[in-house]
């Protein structure tokens, strides 16, 4: 399928500033589904977006594999991977004199995640379900700019990209210094926005119907979260760092009992 998106006006892109006109684009999706009646089922596809004026480019790829070796068990794996470049990604809002400066940059972002699911009925009264989902995303910024005329008819006239002489990186403070008036001193600065974000969530549920209409649930939920400011995507290394981070574990027991009156 192919979809065309017209230019649009965003009231929140400038985070409290005036409305910003954004270019539209074209998106397309292609996918394949195998016979869902089989024990092994495969689905995969891609979604692509091409922004007008080369403002945005997104490439998303996904797959899904489901396997049911016998009626009592099913498992699935759902990986996905996204590459996204956005020329107008909000960075910060600063003050210069009596005026606001709405700062944007080009972000190159990579995201990958996998979702695992398992369901197993051990007996008619005892079942196990598991869900696990690691997620990693990294974004690196460049080509910083400030919005000058958010409603300009021509896309390139809506912003002014900082020249090499107007922006300098301060590695000691991990920030960018802006010399807007060209007098050799910084007029304002903002923190380096590059990021790595990692997350893992899982749930294990054991359900036991110990008597007719009466059920015992044992639940173990785990969450992990970690971040770093480097902006370099490395899925394997990011996963290692994620699972070295502290885990949040929650254990629950729920009992229901049916009484006949």
Please report the pLDDT score of residue 213 as a whole number: 85
Q: Which tokens in the block code for residue 32?
A: 């394949």
Please report the pLDDT score of residue 24 as a whole number: 96
Note whether 148 and 158 are within 8 A (CB). Answer: yes
The closest alpha carbon to 186, from 205, 170, 201, 174, belongs to 170
Low-confidence ranges of the chain (pLDDT < 70): 261
List the domain boundaries for the chain: 2-161+194-256
Beta bridge pairs of residue 4: 26
Please report the pLDDT score of residue 208 as a whole number: 96
Q: Cα separations (Å) of 14 from 144, 147, 154, 184, 194? A: 15, 9, 18, 28, 19
3-state secondary structure of 11: coil
Chain centroid to Cα 160, Å, comes to 28
Q: Alpha-carbon distance 13 to 224, whole Å?
A: 30
pTM: 0.88
In this structure, the chain runs to a length of 261
Please report the pLDDT score of residue 261 as a whole number: 67
Please report the pLDDT score of residue 98 as a whole number: 85
> CA angle 145-147-152, nearest 5°?
125
């Amino acid at each position: 399928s192919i979809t065309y998106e017209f230019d649009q006006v965003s009231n929140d892109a400038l985070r409290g500033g005036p409305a910003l006109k954004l270019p539209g684009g074209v998106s397309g999706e292609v996918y394949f589904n195998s016979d869902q009646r089989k024990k092994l089922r495969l689905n995969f596809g891609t979604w692509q977006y091409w922004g007008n004026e080369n403002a945005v480019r997104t490439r998303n790829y996904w797959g899904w594999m489901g396997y049911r070796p016998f009626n009592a068990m099913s498992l699935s794996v759902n990986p996905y991977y996204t590459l996204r470049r956005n020329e107008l990604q909000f960075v910060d809002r600063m003050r210069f004199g009596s005026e606001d400066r709405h700062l944007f940059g080009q972000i190159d972002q990579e995201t990958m995640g996998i979702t695992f699911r398992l369901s197993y009925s051990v007996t008619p009264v005892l079942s196990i379900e598991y869900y696990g989902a690691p997620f990693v995303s990294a974004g690196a910024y460049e080509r910083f700019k400030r919005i000058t005329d958010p409603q300009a008819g021509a896309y390139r006239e809506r912003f002014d990209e900082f020249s090499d002489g107007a922006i300098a990186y301060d590695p000691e403070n991990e920030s960018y210094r802006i010399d807007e008036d060209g007098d050799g001193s910084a007029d304002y600065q903002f923190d380096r926005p590059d990021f790595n974000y990692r997350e893992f969530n899982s749930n294990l549920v054991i359900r036991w119907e110990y008597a007719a209409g009466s059920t015992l649930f044992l639940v173990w939920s785990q969450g992990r979260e970690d971040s770093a400011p480097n902006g370099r995507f490395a899925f394997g290394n990011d996963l290692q760092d994620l699972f070295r981070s502290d885990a949040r574990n929650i254990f629950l027991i729920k009992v229901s009992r049916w009484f006949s009156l």
